[in-house]
């Protein structure tokens, strides 16, 4: 974790290397037009992973329940469109963000009083509740069949989603860019320094007068909003939402993506999903039975041998073996 770059002694200016992801994205747009659908999925998951990194990597809260916000955002956007006929994309996003944020505040207030196992279990329980609701409330959510008939009006009145995913890609890229700027601001701010403090030594934070509980709820809510927006984007670009958005597999996969990239450093959330989804796209089609096994295996390997993820390994190589 590059603690020297954030905080009070840090340097908040955007470094050249930080523009790399955006250059790559632009290049992909022009050079790989057949893969834009995959690209859209990657962008959405980067946003999702970023939201998880805020809570997991920076605030240090272990949760398996982020799908709750993702799924809620996805369904809110879907239901708003398919059931209430609201097809303006920004209204859908706003509604998803609002719903996820509300859930974040409410559940955060409840579960952030607990820690470790209890907290983990509660996050899963909340997701399970939402899954039950989505499953049973078939009139609204389509139940196990999912909700189709989601329409999204042309963005800004002019750009309709096309078959090749060009508009979707730019749309998601823009959303991710905004999110990135905001998260970056947050990380470099005093609030971000405080998050690091909370993660490093919660006891000390209490002893310097920080209202730890309130701050955790704040970052949890922000993270929930981001996840909700990511979910909505998924619904909008797929024009469909199904029960899998609330499933354990998705939550597990997201965790893998983030760990793969490296936790607690914004760009881990960028690297992880790219590597995971690209490899999945290639391998899962060829060897579906082995894919799941391979993922589990890689996760075990990473945890035992490379806890810092890909970026952590790169750091080690760069610093010549000195622990980062």
189 interacts with another protein by CB under 8 A: yes
* Tokens standing for residue 10: 């840090």
295 interacts with another protein by CB under 8 A: yes
Task: Find the shortest distance in angstroms from Cβ 215 to another protein.
Answer: 7
Task: Considering only the C-alpha atoms of the chain, give the largest distance between any 2 of them, rounded to a whole number of Å.
Answer: 59
Rg, C-alpha atoms of the chain: 19
Query: Looking at 85, 157, 190, 321, which residue binds another protein (CB under 8 A)?
Result: 190
103 close to 65: Cβ distance less than 8 angstroms: no
Q: At what angle are helices 89-111 and 116-136 packed, to 10 degrees?
A: 140
Query: Hey, CA dihedral for 282, 287, 292, 294, is it positive or negative?
Result: negative
Pick between residue 174 and residue 182 the one whose CB is nearest to another protein: 182
Matching residue, tokens 């936790």: 263
Instruction: Sketch the per residue contact string, 72 through 91, with another protein: x for CB under 8 A, - otherwise.
Output: --------------------
How many Cβ atoms sit within 10 Å of the Cβ of residue 298?
16
181 interacts with another protein by CB under 8 A: no
193 interacts with another protein by CB under 8 A: yes
Pick between residue 86 and residue 283 the one whose CB is nearest to another protein: 283
Q: Which are the contacts of 281, defined by CB distance < 8 A and separation ≥ 6?
A: 38
Pick between residue 90 and residue 213 the one whose CB is nearest to another protein: 213
- Kindly identify the residues of this chain, within the stretch 127-146, that bind another protein according to CB under 8 A: 128-129, 132-133, 136
Instruction: Sketch the per residue contact string, 229 through 268, with another protein: x for CB under 8 A, - otherwise.
Output: -------------------xx--x--xx--x---x-----
283 interacts with another protein by CB under 8 A: no
Whole-angstrom Cα distance, residue 49 to residue 227? 8
Interface size with another protein, residues (CB under 8 A): 78
Which of the stretches 46-54, 66-74, 228-236, 295-303 binds another protein when contact is defined by CB under 8 A?
295-303
Query: Looking at 90, 113, 145, 174, which residue binds another protein (CB under 8 A)?
Result: 113
Which of the stretches 47-55, 122-130, 159-167, 271-279 binds another protein when contact is defined by CB under 8 A?
122-130
**Helix, coil or strand: residue 159:** strand
How many Cβ atoms sit within 10 Å of the Cβ of residue 315?
18
Pick between residue 146 and residue 197 the one whose CB is nearest to another protein: 197
Matching residue, tokens 């240090």: 60
Query: Looking at 120, 284, 306, 314, which residue binds another protein (CB under 8 A)?
Result: 120
- Kindly identify the residues of this chain, within the stretch 29-58, that bind another protein according to CB under 8 A: 56
Q: What string of DSSP letters covers 72-115? A: HHHHHHHHHHHTT----HHHHHHHHHHHHHHHHHHHHHHHTTS-
């Amino acid at each position: 974790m590059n603690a020297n770059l954030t905080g009070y002694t840090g340097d908040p200016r955007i470094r050249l290397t930080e523009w790399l992801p955006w250059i790559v994205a632009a290049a992909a747009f022009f050079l790989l037009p057949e893969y834009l659908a995959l690209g859209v999925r990657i962008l959405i998951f980067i946003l999702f992973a970023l939201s998880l990194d805020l809570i997991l990597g920076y605030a240090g809260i272990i949760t398996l329940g982020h799908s709750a916000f993702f799924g809620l955002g996805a369904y809110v956007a879907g239901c708003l469109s398919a059931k209430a006929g609201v097809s303006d994309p920004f209204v859908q996003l706003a509604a998803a963000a609002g719903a996820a944020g509300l859930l974040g505040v409410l559940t955060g207030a409840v579960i952030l009083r607990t820690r470790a196992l209890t907290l983990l279990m509660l996050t899963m329980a909340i997701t399970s509740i939402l899954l039950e609701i989505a499953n049973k409330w078939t009139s609204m959510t389509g139940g196990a069949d999912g909700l189709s008939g989601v329409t999204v009006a042309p963005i800004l009145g002019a750009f309709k989603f096309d078959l090749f995913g060009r508009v979707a890609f730019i749309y998601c890229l823009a959303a991710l860019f905004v999110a990135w700027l905001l998260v970056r601001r947050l990380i470099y701010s005093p609030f971000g320094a405080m998050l690091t403090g909370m993660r490093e030594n919660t006891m000390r934070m209490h002893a310097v007068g920080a209202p730890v509980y309130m701050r955790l709820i704040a970052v949890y809510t922000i993270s929930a909003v981001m996840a909700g927006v990511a979910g909505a984007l998924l619904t909008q670009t797929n024009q469909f939402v199904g029960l899998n958005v609330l499933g354990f597999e998705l939550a597990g996969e997201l965790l893998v993506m983030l760990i793969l990239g490296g936790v607690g450093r914004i760009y881990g959330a960028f690297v992880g999903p790219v590597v995971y989804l690209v490899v999945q796209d290639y391998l899962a089609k060829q060897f579906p039975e082995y894919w799941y096994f391979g993922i589990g295996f890689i996760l075990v390997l990473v945890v035992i041998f490379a806890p810092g993820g890909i970026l952590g390994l790169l750091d080690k190589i760069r610093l010549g073996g000195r622990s980062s």
